[in-house]
Structure 1
Amino acid sequence: MITFRRIAFATLAAPLALSLAACGSEEAQTGEIAATEPVEEVAAPQGQAWTDVVTVTPEDGYLLGNPDAPIKVVEYASLTCPACAAFAGNGAEQLKEEYVSSGRVSFELRNQVHNGIDLVLAALVRCGEDQTFHPLSAEVWANLNELMNGAQANPQALQAAMELPEEQRFFAVAEAANLVDFFAARGLSVDQQRTCLANVDEVTAIAERSDTQSSELGIEGTPTFLVNGNKVDSNSWAGLEPVLQRAGAR
């Protein structure tokens, strides 16, 4: 089981290369996506759009769209993963606008934690209302180079943060990694961030769920997509969209 004490900051010592390869060790094993007849669109509740509806799932994923959609997309993603950032910039909006909005497809985002900064980011994107999780994650990926450069700029401060008592440690890491001002500019006050990151049980539970789910489902790299429980043999929108259409989203 992963705990914060075991997540090394040593991985942040070298500059982060923006590679589009999956962030992990192995290719995901794939399952068969059965071809089906086209699925009918499902109307959103009156006065709402499906792209505004967010449900937190038992797996602590943030599901966007119709929770009863017949085609369910799950993405395991790391907030420090360049390939995840690439999908966020070149696929996520198309998925939402063209498929989630129809009520036929839901999009659930789950965190796979790769390092200590990743864990703090995963806690911070959860710190506001449920509806801010997807937008804040998108902001992180859109600014990934800048954020990682800032996080790597002061390794001594990160090490000092790790020596603090646990209830102070996560916020100190966020400060040392220059994350506090970034999130404050996007609607999370400093006091909100401090309160969220002082909740040691909640923060470490994110890492523990990541470890457990990755082991149970064989998630070895990010982004990994599942469509109706089957892994997709692609980490890009070009590979994911045909699978959705085969599953009936056409």
Structure 2
Amino acid sequence: MNKRTARAATAGVVILAAAAVSIWSLMQSPGAPAKAAILDKLPPPVEHDLATIQPGEVILGSESAPVTIVEYASMSCPHCAAFHKDVLPALKAAYLDTGKAKLVLRDFPLNKPAVEGALLARCVSPMAYWAMVDRLFSTQQQWVVEDSFRQLSSLAATAGLSPDAFAQCQANTQMKDTIINSLQQAETVFGVNSTPSFVINGVVLKEDNSLETIKAVVDALSPAT
């Protein structure tokens, strides 16, 4: 075999080896076919402005993140509390803190205590909003009672709200209407009928809200890198 033939043979082996590595990589990592398979199982995205961040909403994560997660929750909902305790920390670490996704919470109050709790969360400063949301979920058993107003007043005091400020907060009819409208809009636009429900870049998740499912949907909807 002369030198030219040897070089050609060597080049051919290198090309074949590179092709084999590329094929193996595609087989081993979730690419476009895997994303397509996940997306095929999901309902089509709802094209509506409410699938995006709205003015005044307090974002968890980076505003520039490409995937928007909207959580519809009731402050009195035990399943919502479980999500914030057991699922959100891992989701935050993997996606919200890394700039891959951002999350906002919208109210879907199921009862009177939920409305009062949502009002309290909105009455603290934006910097304290998520801390108050966490407090409301973690202390549900204390304030989701018949006399929820009195129990929430004590919780408001820990956030620096005076009794008068808390009473004024709870009497804010415009804010209360906004909370009720959030529920009505979720029902009309996205068909939400239970909590927690999620809208991820317009794709509605109402039944399977596990970490694995949300991660799979976020990955499938993320831009290719």
Normalising to structure 1: TM-score of the pair?
A: 0.63
1:108 aligned onto 2:104: yes
Q: Which runs of 5+ in 1 are unaligned?
A: 1-28, 34-55, 155-172
Counterpart for residue 149 of structure 2: 174
Gaps of 5+ in 2: 1-40, 46-51
1:118-165 deviation line (CA, Å, top 9, x unaligned) = 1111110010111222221111111112222xx23x5xxxxxxxxxxx
Alpha-carbon deviation of 1:32?
5.1
Q: Deviations over 1:64-123 (max 9, x none)?
A: 222231111111111111110110001112222221111221011111011111111111
Residue 92 of structure 1 corresponds to which residue in structure 2? 88
Q: Is the 8 A contact 1:62 1:110 kept in 2?
A: no
The equivalences for 1:11-26 within 5 A come to none
CA distance in 2, matches of 1:31, 1:65: 25
1:237 maps to a residue whose letter is L
Give the one of 183, 195, 200 matched to 1:222: 195
Question: Cα RMSD over matched residues?
Answer: 2.5
Task: Decide whether aligned partners of structure 1 residues 71 and 57 sit closer, same or farther in structure 2, where only a CA change above 3 A counts.
Answer: closer
Q: Would the aligned equivalents of 1:112 and 1:214 in 2 still touch at CA under 8 Å?
A: no
Query: Computing the radius of gyration over CA atoms, which structure comes out larger, 1 or 2?
Result: 2
Cα offset, 1:247, TM superposition = 2.8
Q: Distance in 2 between matches of 1:203 and 1:116?
A: 11
* Number of aligned positions between the proteins: 177
Which has the larger share of helix?
2
Which structure 2 residues correspond to residues 148-167 of structure 1 after superposition, within 5 A?
148=144, 151-152=145-146
**C-alpha contact (below 8 Å) 1:60/1:110 kept by paired residues:** no
Corresponding residue for residue 122 of structure 2: 126
Counterpart pick for 2:159 among 171, 176, 186: 186
* Distance in structure 2 (CA, Å) of the matches to 1:57 and 1:192: 28
Normalising by structure 2, report the TM-score: 0.70
Question: Structure 1 segments of 4 or more deviating over 6 A?
Answer: none
Structure 1 position 227, deviation (Å): 1.2
Task: Tell me the CA shift for residue 242 of structure 1.
Answer: 2.2
- Does 2:218 align with 1:248? no
